[in-house]
Amino acid sequence: MDLSSTDLRVLRQIAESGSFTAAAGRLGYTQSAISRQAASLERNVGAALFERRSDGVRLTPAGLTLLRHARTILDSLAAAERDLTGALPQTELVRLGVLLSAGAAILPAALTRLAATDPQVTVVTSEGTTPSLTRALRAGTIDLALLTSRPPHRPPDGESPRLHTETIEDGDLAVAASTTGTFAGRASVHIDELVDAAWIATPSPASEPLLGVWPGLPGRPRIAHTARDWLTKLHLVAGGFGVTTVPSRLSAVLPPGVTLLRVEGAPREVRRLLVARLAGRPSAGVSAVARALMPTA
């Protein structure tokens, strides 16, 4: 078996992206080039590494085994490059993946705590959805992730060994609406009143749930606007251009003109915020960041 570092990086990127097309975009290749590289990898290894499904690509058990070794090799190559160039790290770098809705409410306070308790730890962050961040953890491109789950709070994925997770908080999902619009002056709204509402949603792949629309809403939701950025979504709400779902943790950082409504006539929607990492003994830096993310830190 003769594998190059490029082979291993392609494997890792496919694992993180969940599709050949997304991996190609991030690596600057064409989709067909990535498909050929994947097929070449499988021939070289002599085993099926990728499960090609209608909702994307997942690694087979053989692929996950190779990925585990690829992470070690690529990390060692990066360390060798630092040694050879004299760029020795003075701090421990921790790569943190952050759920789209957790950044404003959780991250600034956590980084402030970390700077006071563990100034030798440096954090770099990237945003994503729970499925994409879970893949990134498995691929080894991030060390720690803020994820969310809904009842019955199953593990983030079905891979083995399971990710190590700790609960940060449980909070209710709410609907963000304009303080001067249809629901002005109210603290709650009935689910039936939301059927014809204009929704502001987060664009997502077909394999991931539609974010921003109340789960189980009767009928087909009317999507008026799509935006990934929370500031954009909430200012559209403030302007009266639609409503969106918001975790209750964001109540402290809402812009003027936005209020949160409790939804009646529908099951309570609880969202659990988790900090997750790969199984095994974490580094001192990863442990320090995880502690800083806990509300009792």
Query: Which pLDDT tens digit goes with each residue over 194-230?
Result: 999 999 998 766 655 678 999 989 888 999 999 988 8
Query: Which pLDDT tens digit goes with each residue over 171-190?
Result: 999 999 999 989 999 999 99
Main-chain dihedrals φ then ψ at residue 149, nearest 5 degrees: -145, 160
Q: Are strands 198-201 and 222-226 parallel, antiparallel or unpaired?
A: parallel
> How many Å separate Cα 296 from the centre of its chain?
23
Q: 296 vs 254, which has greater pLDDT?
A: 254
Q: How far apart are CA 293 and CA 109, in angstroms?
A: 8
Instruction: For each of the domains in the chain, give its residue range(s) and CATH number, in order of start.
Output: 5-85 (1.10.10.10), 92-169+272-293 (3.40.190.10), 171-269 (3.40.190.10)
pLDDT at residue number 123: 94
Backbone CA torsion sign across 232, 55, 221, 185: negative
Cβ partners under 8 Å of residue 203, min gap 6 = 226, 227, 228
pLDDT at residue number 297: 43
pLDDT at residue 152 is higher than 80? yes
Which stretches of 46-197 are DSSP H helices?
61-85, 103-117, 130-139
Cβ partners under 8 Å of residue 101, min gap 6 = 148, 230, 246, 247, 249, 250
pLDDT at residue number 162: 93
pLDDT at residue number 252: 83
Residue of 108, 253, 102, 261 lying closest to 168 (CA atoms): 102
- Listed in order, strand segments (DSSP E) in the chain are 50-53, 56-59, 92-99, 121-128, 144-149, 164-178, 188-190, 198-201, 222-226, 244-247, 258-264, 270-277
Q: Which two tokens stand for residue 54?
A: 């209608």
Q: 289 vs 72, which has greater pLDDT?
A: 289
pLDDT at residue number 205: 63
Cβ partners under 8 Å of residue 245, min gap 6 = 173, 174, 175, 176, 211, 212, 213, 214
3-state secondary structure (DSSP) of residue 177: strand
pLDDT at residue number 277: 96
**Burial class of residue 246 in the structure, from the number of CB atoms within 10 Å of its CB (0-12 exposed, 13-18 middle, 19+ buried):** buried
Cβ partners under 8 Å of residue 263, min gap 6 = 173, 174, 175, 188, 189, 190, 191, 194, 214, 269
